[in-house]
Amino acid sequence: MGILESKVPKGPLADKWTQHKNEIDLVNPANKRNIDIIVVGTGLAGGSAAATLAELGYNVKTFCYQDSPRRAHSIAAQGGINASKNYQGDGDSDYRLFYDTIKGGDYRSREANVYRLAEVSGNIIDQCVAQGVPFAREYGGLLDNRSFGGVLVSRTFYAKGQTGQQLLLGAYSAMNRQIQRGKIKSYTRHEMLDLVKVDGKARGIIARNLVTGEIERHSAHAVVIASGGYGNLFFLSTYCMGANVMAAWRTHRRGAFFANPCFTQIHPTCIPVSGEHQSKLTLMSESLRNDGRIWVPKKLEDAKAIREGKLKPTELKEEDRDYYLERRYPAFGNLVPRDVASRAAKERCDAGYGVNKTGEAVYLDFAAAIKRYGTEKAYTSGIKDPDPDTVRQLGEEIIEAKYGNLFQMYEKIVDQNPYKTPMMIYPAVHYTMGGLWVDYNLQTTVPGCYSIGEANFSDHGANRLGASALMQGLADGYFVLPYTIGDYLSDDIRTGKIPTDSPEFDEAEKHVMDRINKLMSGKGLHSVDYYHKKLGKIMWDKCGMSRNEKDLKKAIKEIAELRKDFWENVKVTGEANSKNQELEKAGRVADFLEIGELFAKDALERNESCGGHFREEYQTPEGEALRDDENYKYVAAWEYKGEPKDAKLHKEDLAYEYIELKTRSYK
Ligand SMILES: Cc1cc2nc3c(=O)[nH]c(=O)nc-3n(C[C@H](O)[C@H](O)[C@H](O)COP(=O)(O)OP(=O)(O)OC[C@H]3O[C@@H](n4cnc5c(N)ncnc54)[C@H](O)[C@@H]3O)c2cc1C
């Protein structure tokens, strides 16, 4: 048995999961009461897992750094969640969702996991409806759907532009029921700083109480890492400010392999960067591409005039606009996958057609949709020959009902009314497909340590399709992990409580304390943010939307130097043993400075382009990503060996048995 045993069950694709559930070991209800599980992270993945595990009878401890599980980053999710219910009767099926996801990920994900994801997707919607999640409904009362990128059906369930918030309220209320029953002990404002292994198995964590500064030991029979993604290593991103890689990275340092670290998603529709002092970027949901049309001026002189404020976009004639996605990808149009749309925007802006002051923005225009909806509404309301103002007003009302909160958010940030003038958008870092390597059971390479949601690498290959992160997080938490973890825990029914006074806990706590003390004793030359911004710039310039060998080599060198400087000179104010947000940030940035280097090393090693990983040296004559299936059809799983430069690569071959590997085309 190799180290990277994916444990994909044998048998036909569509039977694998059912067969597996029938065959794996179970823990009986009485024994579950004797088993403790730690869940790090209470976003949609961790929250749903914790609630389900506790409902099954396990004793669960949850950890999050926010003051409530309800405030996890998942709350920000806007556009929706996919499921192959085929409510629209437009030809959807489990197979199609599976196929779209594999193709969307540019053939770099594991078939069996993705098929299972599609198979359980419908259950997620039923579960959430039962919890009272207020999904949007059609006039007749049935659940409504819309489309997201990279697909030709409407399978996305949504709750206005607040889908994540509503789903999280569902998961959180399920958690609360268990907290009230005493089956979940919820540790908020706690940060996991290390994983504790006993006899090679994950048996607990070291956490810091962020309010008191105290270091705590917590033991369990298994540990689940559900700590989200690491896109904040770019400094500017659409992530919440606190999102970090610490839990996953510290687990990696204890032996869990880290997979495909360079697979990052750069989302095409974000509010462009406005200046040096910004610390956060805002997403305009992909759902907007259902109705918004993306364009730039056809002529360079028009683009220049717009940038200089001499011409308004609304003044530009239809024939002078380049709807470049519709032109290049007629079949999918504005709903091509994110990696494709992002690169196309960058290409136009690099060629000089950008429309904001910095030249790094394209338009997302709702005028056509407003007219179309308004005309239809006037017709169905019996208004004969409506004047343009009436059509506009009726159309705007429909757009407001669909996307009102997103439009309001845009207006508040940009101070322009997107009902009257097109939005300006540009790509920004949004999601990390890479993460802890897990097998079919969602177990990492450390026995007893599992990883779910965005923290693992599992289902999205080199590019995640829109509305698939919520689906994966909730599939993992509600429907996969609660079964698979029992298979492992069935060996632990006689183990008894795991003591926290063992040498392993002593060692881990000492390790954590040493690291904190080292952070506190920097010479104090530069703030933590100074280093974070510098790292972000290296990442964006050299490891961002396009990469090449020369820049990646430079990035590796520069990050290693920056890390050295950080440990010598960082300034962390305050005390170690009390509330200290600078210390929290410093710990997170220290880890970003390590994963950043591994990220660049991974991107350098992968001599092909696939999905969001675009190596300039490997592209088609039309500028599309050029895969190399013969040499790179694998998951790159890195083993920690000290410095990132020494990390050892293991390869999991992605045997494609059910889907034919084709050149990915959205034309
Ligand atoms: C603006 C925005 C909009 C989005 N819209 C959509 C959408 O419409 N559809 C879709 O499918 N996806 C969307 N996504 C992506 C999706 O929201 C995320 O991928 C998903 O919610 C991640 O869920 P998670 O449970 O894995 O992690 P998170 O929600 O990030 O939760 C992480 C949890 O881990 C905890 N944690 C982290 N580190 C530690 C530590 N060291 N110790 C203790 N606790 C820790 C945090 O406190 C938190 O509870 C969107 C993302 C953004 C940014």
Sequential DSSP letters for 523-578: ---EEHHHHHHHHHHHHHHHHSSSB-HHHHHHHHHHHHHHHHHHHHHEE--S-TTS
Tell how far the Cα of 215 is from the centroid of ligand 1, in angstroms.
Answer: 25
- pLDDT over 90 at 563, yes or no: yes
Among candidate residues 356, 370, 489, 454, the one with its CA nearest the CA of residue 420: 370
- pLDDT over 70 at 2, yes or no: no
Tens of pLDDT along 176-202? 999 999 999 999 999 999 999 999 999
Report which protein residue has its CA nearest ligand 1's atom 51: 77
Q: Measured from the CA of 44, which atom of ligand 1 is nearest? A: 25
Among candidate residues 336, 347, 265, 342, the one with its CA nearest the CA of residue 613: 265
Tell how far the Cα of 328 is from the centroid of ligand 1, in angstroms.
Answer: 33
Q: Mean pLDDT throughout 224-244?
A: 97
With contact defined as beta carbons under 8 Å apart, do 443 and 267 qualify? no
The region, left, alpha or beta by phi > 0 then psi within -120 to 50, assigned to residue 98 is alpha
With contact defined as beta carbons under 8 Å apart, do 444 and 451 qualify? yes
Q: What is the 3-state secondary structure (H, E, C) of 28-49?
A: CHHHHCCCEEEEECCCHHHHHH
- pLDDT over 50 at 1, yes or no: no
Query: Which residues sit with their C-beta closer than 6 Å to ligand 1?
Result: 40-46, 63-66, 72-74, 76-81, 163-164, 190-192, 226-228, 238-239, 243-244, 246-247, 283, 285, 430-431, 453-455, 467-470, 473
Tell how far the Cα of 84 is from the centroid of ligand 1, in angstroms.
Answer: 23
* Type of residue at 124: I
Tens of pLDDT along 53-110? 999 999 999 999 999 999 999 999 999 999 999 999 999 999 999 999 999 999 999 9
Q: Measured from the CA of 237, which atom of ligand 1 is nearest? A: 53
Q: Measured from the CA of 430, which atom of ligand 1 is nearest? A: 53
Q: What is the pLDDT of residue 554?
A: 98
Tell how far the Cα of 73 is from the centroid of ligand 1, in angstroms.
Answer: 4
- pLDDT over 90 at 276, yes or no: no
Structure tokens at 661: 């590997």
Q: Which of 186, 245, 289, 470 to mutate to test the pocket of ligand 1 (most atoms within 8 A of CB)?
A: 470
* Type of residue at 29: P
* Type of residue at 174: A
Sequential DSSP letters for 423-478: EEEEEEEEEE--EE---TTSB-SSTTEEE-GGGB--S-TTSPPTT-HHHHHHIIII
Among candidate residues 270, 260, 225, the one with its CA nearest the CA of residue 244: 225
| Alpha carbon distance, N-terminus to C-terminus of the chain | 42
Report which protein residue has its CA nearest ligand 1's atom 44: 64
CA distance 217 to 61: 12
Place of tokens 């090449």: 548
Q: Measured from the CA of 471, which atom of ligand 1 is nearest? A: 11
* Type of residue at 574: G
Q: Which of 73, 287, 431, 478 to mutate to test the pocket of ligand 1 (most atoms within 8 A of CB)?
A: 73
Q: Which of 454, 458, 516 to mutate to test the pocket of ligand 1 (most atoms within 8 A of CB)?
A: 454
Beta-carbon count within 10 A of 55 CB = 17
Q: Measured from the CA of 229, which atom of ligand 1 is nearest? A: 30
> Residue length, the chain?
667
- Within 8 A by CB and 6+ apart from 245, the residues are 227, 230, 233, 588, 591, 592, 595
Q: Report DSSP state, residue 60.
A: E
Structure tokens at 98: 């599976």
Q: Report DSSP state, residue 246.
A: H
* Type of residue at 537: K
Could you tell me the pLDDT band of residue 496, with boundaries at 50, 70 and 90?
very high
Q: Which of 60, 74, 409, 442 to mutate to test the pocket of ligand 1 (most atoms within 8 A of CB)?
A: 74
CA distance 245 to 229: 7
Report which protein residue has its CA nearest ligand 1's atom 52: 77
Q: Measured from the CA of 207, which atom of ligand 1 is nearest? A: 42
Computed over every residue of the chain, the mean pLDDT equals 97
Distance set, CA 339 to CA 150, 151, 227, 404, 428 (Å): 10, 14, 24, 26, 11
pTM over 0.95: yes
Tens of pLDDT along 529-540? 999 999 999 999
Q: What is the 3-state secondary structure (H, E, C) of 179-232?
A: HHHCCEEEECCEEEEEEEEECCEEEEEEEEECCCCCEEEEECCEEEECCCCCHH
Residue 218: HSE in the Cβ half-sphere, 13 Å Cα cutoff: 29
Tell how far the Cα of 240 is from the centroid of ligand 1, in angstroms.
Answer: 8
* Type of residue at 357: K
Structure tokens at 253: 């340092």
Q: Measured from the CA of 247, which atom of ligand 1 is nearest? A: 41
